[in-house]
Amino acid sequence: MGKGNTETNALGTVAAALERYISDMNMNMQKMKDAARDCSDNMGSDKYSANAIADLEECIKKLGQAMEDAEEIRRRIIETKNTIEED
C-alpha cells in the first residue's frame, strides 16, 4: 500500500507541475501574440518586422501544438494515478 501511495503522490505532483507549466506557457504565448500585434501596429508593413512577426507566429503555433501534447500527457498521468488509486 505504501508503494501505491508514493506512486500516486508522485504522479499527482507531476500532473500539478505540468498543469502549471502549461498555464504559464499559455500566458507567455499570449504575451508573444500581443507583442507581435504591437510590433505590427507600430511598424506597419516594414519588411523586416513582418518577417520577424511571421517567424514568431510560427513559433507560437508550434508551442501551441506542444502544449496540446503536454495536456495529453497530463491527462494520461491523471488517468494512471486514478487507476492505481482504484486498485
More confident site: 1 or 9 = 9
Distance separating alpha carbons of residues 21 and 15, to the nearest angstrom: 10
How many residues are recorded in the chain?
87
CA distance 49 to 70: 31
For the chain, what is the largest distance between any 2 Cα atoms, rounded to a whole number of angstroms? 64
- Rounded mean pLDDT of 2-13? 81
What is the pLDDT of the chain when averaged over all its residues? 91
Tell me: pLDDT of 25 over 50.
Answer: yes
The pTM (predicted TM-score) of the whole model is 0.82
pLDDT at 2 over 70: no
Residue environment code for 21-38, b if the CB has 16+ CB neighbours within 10 A, otherwise e? ebeeeeeebeeeeeebee
In the predicted structure, residue 1 carries a pLDDT above the cut 50: no
